[in-house]
Structures are given as structure tokens and as C-alpha cells.
């Protein structure tokens, strides 16, 4: 691809990835392979993709307008996600990713099938034990997000459903602000390592901001069942990609 076309390609890529992320989660499933297709090394593609997480504030704002965001309740998880993402991004700089990537893919498929077959994913019981499990799950999901740039958001959605009693729609909405906290930590690490490509990252972020808002609006319009279906499709597709490498 001619170098002059890269910003336009990045803008379109961000628009599509943001739309997917706004509807469910996992926009990195499209963005990271797209960045690698135009010549970015895997580590740089993962690092640059995190700029899209900043743009998720647009979808978070759209969900906030519909009172789906529970900011005060999510604040401890935002801090947890920041710490987990910091750990994951540090590990990325030194770790061979293939084995952990495939293991996570298999685990995601198992969780997705469990989630799909469950008649009531909101198995929330108000207790300190459930809260502790939720914090641990968000931490682990954020470590993975720091490592691979995508997939961690699925764990956060599961966590908010099972341990915090949120619907899929509410969980998806609140995941946006949790992931935003994690992304800021990741960006600081990768910025220091010189892995972020701003030439394609900035136009991609602009496109993702627009796409995220449109995706969130679409999700609110289509309803809970539709979002759950899109979410499960995204999980399965992401998991297969992780397993195959």
C-alpha cells in the first residue's frame, strides 16, 4: 500500500473496529490484524491498537446518556484494570505469546458456550467473596489485554454479569470505562518503549471514536438479545483466531 494512503486506511479501520467495539467488545480483533497487514510488527500493532481504547470514551458517553454507566461502582475495577494492564504490557516486552494466547482462546470458547447456554447469566450474590472474585477476574483479563491487545474485555463483561449482576448491555457499557483505565497504563508503557505508531494510530483513533459512538447507539437501539448474540460471535471469532495464531 502506498504510504500516502495509510492514514485513510487507518481511519476506515478505526471506524470499523470502533463500531464492533461499541456494539459488544473486541474491536482489536479487526484492528490488530489490519495494522499488521500494512506492515506493523505484532508488538507495534498491539501497542498502537490501544489508542482505540481511548476513543472508547465516545461509546461510554453514549451509554452514559442512557444511564447504563455505573461509574462510582466501577471505580475500584478501573484501578484494578490499570494495574493489570500495566503488568500485562510489561510482560509483552519480554514474553513469547503463543502458548498463553492459545490457552486463553480455549478458555474463552468454554466461557462463551457456558454464557450462551445459561438462562440467567446474572448469577450475582451480594457478598465480599463475589466482589473479590470479580476484582481478580478483572485483573487477569486486564493482564491479558496488556499482553495481546484484545480479548480481555470479554472477561470483564463476563465478570460484570456473573459477579456484579449486570445485564449484558450494562456490562458492555461499563466495560468501556474499565478498559479505558487499563489502556492508559498500557499506552504509557508502550510509549516509553517506542512501539506506538502515531502516523496510523491517530487517524485510526479518530475513526474509532466515530465508530464507537455509532456502535453504542446501535446496541441501545437493537436491544439486549441482539447485543448478546453479537458479543458471543465476537468471542468465538476472537478465540478461533487466538488458537490458530
| pLDDT 10s digits, 70-86 | 888 888 998 998 898 88
**What pLDDT does residue 158 have?**
81
**What pLDDT does residue 80 have?**
92
Better-predicted residue by pLDDT, 219 or 41: 41
Q: Return the sign of the alpha-carbon dihedral for residues 82, 84, 90, 95.
A: negative
Q: How far apart are CA 41 and CA 23, in angstroms?
A: 28
**What pLDDT does residue 54 have?**
72
Residues 134-160, mean pLDDT to the nearest whole number: 80
Say if pTM beats, i.e. exceeds, 0.75: no
**What pLDDT does residue 126 have?**
59
Whether the Cβ atoms of residue 200 and residue 50 lie closer than 8 Å to each other? no
**What pLDDT does residue 198 have?**
92
Cβ neighbours, 10 Å, residue 3 = 9
Question: At a CB cut-off of 8 Å and minimum separation 6, what does 223 contact?
Answer: 169
Range of the domain at 183: 3-244
Domain count, the chain: 1
Q: Which of 14-23, 116-125, 199-208 has the highest mean pLDDT?
A: 199-208
Residues, the chain: 245
Distances (CA, A) of 211 to 11, 28, 49, 67, 207: 10, 13, 15, 20, 6
User: In this predicted model, what pLDDT tens digit does every residue of 93-146 receive, in sequence order?
Assistant: 776 656 655 665 676 676 666 656 655 455 555 567 777 888 898 898 888 777
> Confidence band (pLDDT; 50, 70, 90) for 166?
confident
**What pLDDT does residue 180 have?**
78
Mean pLDDT in the chain?
76
Residues 44-62, mean pLDDT to the nearest whole number: 72
Instruction: Point out the least confidently predicted range of 4-13, 43-52, 87-96.
Output: 87-96
Amino acid at each position: 500500500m502506498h504510504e500516502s494512503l495509510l492514514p485513510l486506511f487507518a481511519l476506515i479501520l478505526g471506524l470499523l473496529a470502533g463500531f464492533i467495539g461499541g456494539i459488544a467488545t473486541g474491536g482489536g480483533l479487526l484492528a490488530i490484524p489490519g495494522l499488521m497487514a500494512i506492515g506493523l510488527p505484532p508488538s507495534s500493532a498491539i501497542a498502537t491498537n490501544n489508542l482505540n481504547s481511548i476513543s472508547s470514551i465516545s461509546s461510554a458517553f453514549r451509554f452514559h446518556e442512557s444511564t447504563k454507566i455505573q461509574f462510582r461502582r466501577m471505580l475500584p475495577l478501573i484501578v484494578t484494570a490499570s494495574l493489570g494492564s500495566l503488568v500485562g504490557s510489561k510482560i509483552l516486552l519480554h514474553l513469547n505469546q503463543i502458548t498463553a494466547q492459545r490457552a486463553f482462546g480455549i478458555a474463552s470458547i468454554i466461557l462463551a458456550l457456558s454464557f450462551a447456554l445459561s438462562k440467567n447469566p446474572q448469577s450475582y450474590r451480594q457478598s465480599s467473596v463475589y466482589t473479590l472474585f470479580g476484582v481478580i477476574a478483572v485483573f487477569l483479563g486486564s493482564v491479558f489485554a496488556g499482553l495481546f491487545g484484545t480479548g480481555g474485555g470479554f472477561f470483564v463483561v463476563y465478570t460484570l454479569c456473573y459477579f456484579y449482576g449486570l445485564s449484558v448491555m450494562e456490562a458492555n457499557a461499563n466495560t468501556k470505562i474499565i478498559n479505558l483505565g487499563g489502556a492508559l497504563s498500557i499506552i504509557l508503557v508502550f510509549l516509553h518503549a517506542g512501539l506506538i505508531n502515531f502516523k496510523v494510530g491517530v487517524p485510526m483513533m479518530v475513526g474509532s471514536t466515530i465508530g464507537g459512538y455509532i456502535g453504542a447507539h446501535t446496541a441501545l437501539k437493537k436491544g439486549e438479545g441482539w447485543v448478546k448474540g453479537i458479543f458471543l460471535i465476537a468471542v468465538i471469532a476472537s478465540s478461533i483466531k487466538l488458537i490458530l495464531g
